[in-house]
Amino acid sequence: MKIEMELNGRAVTHEIDPGANLLSVLRGMGQFSVKLGCETGDCGSCTVLLDGEPVNSCVVAAARTHSHKVTTLEGLLGDPLMKELQQELVDKGAVQCGYCSPGILISLYAHFRAGNELTDHHLREALTGNLCRCTGYVKPLEAALTVAQNQQGGPDEQGGAS
Ligand code: FES
Ligand code: FES
């Protein structure tokens, strides 16, 4: 079957298997930031934005994205907020094997863009759907809190990282 979607701001038409998940279709379209982990909706490594909301693309039928907007990390590389998040993950040493990093970046980006609270508690919640085997979440959280502090004009307006 044929689907038409807006992928990273560009209208694309793609022939898909009716049973295909969005993860496999996106990777077939060269979106290699979308990682295959559990394929059961548990690890978050395949997180993308569907109409601006983070979803686990392994459990979204590709057919469902017909006439919808899909955004992957590739589509956000020029975005100032995404650049800042990426740089902080690197600076804080939060990218070890890096397999979880695209999903973490998409989840944090969506959280910030939605205007959610940027406290330690809320940033932890934003990452609950993203499993990371390497970092113990301390460093990704530190990175997120630093970006939050920058966005909010300084550390005094934050609740702290503990
Ligand atoms: S691969 Fe999609 S949630 Fe794990
Ligand atoms: S950095 Fe390896 S799984 Fe997160």
Asked whether residue 129 is domain-assigned, the answer is: yes
Ligand 1 centroid–CA 150 distance in Å is 31
Whether residues 139 and 89 share a domain: the answer is yes
Q: Could you read off the pLDDT of 15-71 as tens digits, one per residue?
A: 999 999 999 999 999 999 999 999 999 999 999 999 999 999 999 999 999 999 999
Atom of ligand 2 nearest to the CA of 97: 2
Atom of ligand 2 nearest to the CA of 96: 1
Cα gap 137→22, rounded to integer Å: 27
Cα gap 46→113, rounded to integer Å: 19
Sole residue written with tokens 């998409």: 106
Residue 158 has pLDDT above 60, yes or no: no
Q: What percent of the chain has a predicted confidence (pLDDT) above 90?
A: 91
> What are the distances in angstroms from CA 51 to CA 72, 126, 130?
11, 18, 19
Give the chain's mean pLDDT. Answer: 94
Q: How many CB atoms lie within 10 A of CB 2?
A: 8
Whether residues 60 and 82 share a domain: the answer is no
Domain of 36, CATH number, reads 3.10.20.30
Query: 148: alpha, beta or left, given left = phi > 0 and alpha = psi -120 to 50?
Result: alpha
Q: How confident is the model at residue 155 (pLDDT cuts 50, 70, 90)?
A: low
Asked whether residue 146 is domain-assigned, the answer is: yes
What pLDDT does 153 receive?
A: 83
Q: Could you read off the pLDDT of 93-108 as tens digits, one per residue?
A: 999 999 999 999 999 9
Look at ligand 2, atom 4, and give the residue with the nearest C-alpha.
Answer: 132
Q: How many domains does the chain have?
A: 2
- Give the domain range for residue 89: 78-157
* Structural contact between residues 69 and 52, judged by C-beta atoms closer than 8 angstroms: yes
Structure tokens at 89: 């993950």
Whether residues 87 and 48 share a domain: the answer is no
- Burial status of residue 19 (CB atoms within 10 A of its CB: 0-12, 13-18, 19 or more): exposed
Whether residues 70 and 89 share a domain: the answer is no
Ligand 2 centroid–CA 105 distance in Å is 12
Q: Could you read off the pLDDT of 86-140 as tens digits, one per residue?
A: 999 999 999 999 999 999 999 999 999 999 999 999 999 999 999 999 998 999 9
Q: Which residues line ligand 2 (CB under 6 A)?
A: 95-100, 132-135
Asked whether residue 162 is domain-assigned, the answer is: no
Ligand nearest to the CA of 99: 2
Whether residues 135 and 153 share a domain: the answer is yes
